Amino acid sequence: MALNQALSGLNGAQADLNVIANNIANANTTGFKGSRAEFADIYAVSGVNLSATAVGSGTRMTDVAQQFAQGDIETTGNSLDMAISGNGFFVVNTGNGYAYTRDGAFQQDANGNVVTQDGYKVQVYPYSAASGSVDTSTLTNLNLVTAQSAATPTTTATITSNLPANATAPTLAFDPTNPATFNNSTTFTVYDSLGSSHQATAYYVKTGTNTWDANLYVDGQSAGTQTLTFSSSGTLTTPANGIVTYNSLNYGNGANAQALSVNFSQTTQYGSAYAAGTISQNGYTAGALSSINVDSTGVVTANYSNGQSSELGQLAMANFQNLQGLTQLGSASWSASTASGTAVMGTAGSGQYGTVQSGALEESNTSDTTAQLVDMIQAQRDYQANAQVLSTDDTLASTLFSAVSR
């Protein structure tokens, strides 16, 4: 009987060593969660007939329990690297359903999808421009290629400047090529419906006391002339709201005709020298994706080369009633099972879910190999002790057989 008991002990110690070896082997695996071998004793008789003198029949491994303790967070600086601080998993689409991972070492595939190292597509709740929020009723792939910023044509511009009240009205007819025919000018950039840029210039010509002509030219084409009238205190009185609309222009490049409205409400006429002030307009060219930002709640924002930004969605998070019931798939990912229960979906930073840290990765929770090595030494001693039991039992049996044979 001792042989069988020792054999079960050897098998148990070997299984324990295997689990520890796997933990140590994955000490540098991003998002890896270590395991622990768990054992139970064996009795050859049922509990009803168990006597006080019954001897156990050895041990058996009952479970390899996963340990979901938090791993250390390591900063990488790569915006596609993401770590979860706290509970939850990233949700990924394997093509055959959803899987759940703590490995946030994501990358971009040939189609622009953000994927895991195994090619599983990272899932987000899509952003709805109509509602101005994310739609948590559906999941979609996080895609960066489709995240381009379309061109927006300029429709309005605002000019803040000061026209000198003591300026002298030109005596010659206005000619944009002759500086002697205008007092001052302001140049700014506008964009058409294709995102092409054009140079617009407002030429100011004093026509009388407190009155000016504002002539607008775009790429050398005249968009018309509008009159500005100022009060004796230097504020604009005409037009009343400060907004003038110029004639529509056609650039001949395939873009839509463009009519510009210019807001002069902040333009003044004081006795000081001309001051160009500030100029703003609401158009911009098409932009390519230049970078992404991910905040602590998992909201992914795309930044474009034209200075614009837009939300692409919010990272989907999942958690489970029974983490031990998850099925390991490898690559620090799991799938749901009957034992784990259905995934409870949500977003980072809310309820039971941890926060997301961009530009960082979660290290293996077995990266402290010292503790693993101590466990390995203990398992090795257990193995040696059971081997010694085998040797001792063999010696006793040999001695007994020798005594009987005499």
Q: What is the pLDDT of residue 282?
A: 94
- Structural domains in the chain? 2-69+374-405 (no CATH), 73-149+288-362 (no CATH), 156-281 (2.60.98.20)
Residue type, 53: T
Three-state DSSP at 395 gives helix
**Which token pair is 159?**
């000019």
Q: What is the pLDDT of residue 150?
A: 85
Residue (of 349, 286, 293, 307) closest to 152 by Cα position? 286
Q: Is the separation of the CB atoms in 214 and 193 below 8 Å?
A: no
- Cβ contacts of residue 369 below 8 Å, gap of 6+? 24, 27
- Cβ contacts of residue 357 below 8 Å, gap of 6+? 73, 82, 83, 84, 85, 296
Q: How far apart are CA 222 and CA 23, in angstroms?
A: 75
Q: What is the pLDDT of residue 404?
A: 72
Three-state DSSP at 397 gives helix
Q: What is the pLDDT of residue 46?
A: 59
Q: What is the pLDDT of residue 382?
A: 82
CB atoms under 10 Å from CB of 285, counted, come to: 20
CB atoms under 10 Å from CB of 278, counted, come to: 10
Prior bond to 239 cis, omega within 30?
yes
Q: Is the separation of the CB atoms in 170 and 206 below 8 Å?
A: yes
Q: How far apart are CA 162 and CA 172, in angstroms?
A: 23
| Whole-structure pTM value | 0.75
Q: CA torsion angle for 70, 76, 80, 85 (degrees, to 10)?
A: 20
- Cβ contacts of residue 85 below 8 Å, gap of 6+? 70, 73, 354, 355, 356, 357, 362
Q: What is the pLDDT of residue 32?
A: 95
Helix then strand then coil, % of the chain, to nearest 5: 15, 40, 45
Pick out the chain residues at pLDDT < 70.
Answer: 1, 45-53, 146-147, 393-394, 401, 405-406
